[in-house]
Amino acid sequence: MTEFAKVGTGQIHLLILGTILMIVVPLVIAIIWTKKKKEKFTTVLVGAATFLLFAIILEKPIQNALVFPTQMGLADHAISHFINARPILWAFVVGLFPGVFEETGRLVAYKTVLKKRKNRETSISHGIGHGGFEVMFVLGVTYATYIAYALMINTGTFGAVVEQVKAQAPEQAQAVTALASQIAAFSFADLGVAIVERICAVMFHIGASILVFYACKDKKKFWLYPLAILLHTAMDFIAGLTLAGVWDPPTWVLEVIVGIVGVFTFCGAFFLLYKKDVKEKAII
């Protein structure tokens, strides 16, 4: 059985801090925003539900069945072979799915459960819920899992997990083994980069929520909905290129590019749409 280096107390404490930050901070921001603007907290919850339904429940299984069928216990098929044989197409598809599903999720939310909430603050409330829940799901849960793995590594039981993965999914064994080294080397810099990355991601989600909100509010601005899809796809396509091995920039370069897209989307939507809007009294 493979032996792994012990995870230091400092790394475990950083992971605990990261877990707390990624779960508590989004909640605090949502509470402060809704209290200050007298917004209904249910709008934030709808934003969270939008991410859960359209990104996790709908998007991922469909994407995996199309691109990664073996991960779902399915046999490879002609479409997956075609996509996986073309790295640039692979990166595009991986970026397109979040763009289409998440932005359509916002559209559906505004057209249904939020259709009577016409005040401009609704857009930001929804974006905070969507982006905040993603932070909790992507990093809060991940860091909590890392803490469990760290304890298993230190007690010598993580090797059994690796052996089980080797038996059930051999193609994932190397990634799980590398994860142990990643956890042991987790640093304050890693946490700092993750925080900055999530701030930019939340800014993007708020910006995209504003775009789709005004696409629903004004028929003449419906083009903002496909624009949101395009921006979302572009951001994830860039990341997909690195995962596909097409492009191998330094990590900081990728983070800067993704950050620029997030900040650009937020600032454009906030200053060109939200700030220019006349505040209306919420119907509900």
Reported as a single tens digit per residue, the pLDDT across 166-216 is: 887 777 778 888 899 999 999 999 999 999 999 999 999 999 999 999 999
Token pair 């925080």: residue = 195
Q: What is the pLDDT of residue 284?
A: 40
How far are the Cα atoms of 100, 191, 197 from residue 139, in angstroms, in the given order?
23, 10, 11
pLDDT(279) > 70: no
d(CA 65, CA 240): 18
Written as one string, the DSSP assignment of 24-52 is: HHHHHHHHHHHHHHT--HHHHHHHHHHII
Question: What mean pLDDT do residues 126-145 have?
Answer: 96
Q: What is the pLDDT of residue 143?
A: 97
Question: What mean pLDDT do residues 48-63 have?
Answer: 97
Token pair 């409330």: residue = 125
Burial of residue 76, with CB atoms counted within 10 A of its CB: 0-12 exposed, 13-18 middle, 19 or more buried: exposed
Structure tokens at 96: 């397109």
Higher pLDDT, 156 or 104: 104
Q: What is the pLDDT of residue 165?
A: 80
Question: What mean pLDDT do residues 29-54 have?
Answer: 98
Percent of the chain clearing pLDDT 70 (strictly above): 97
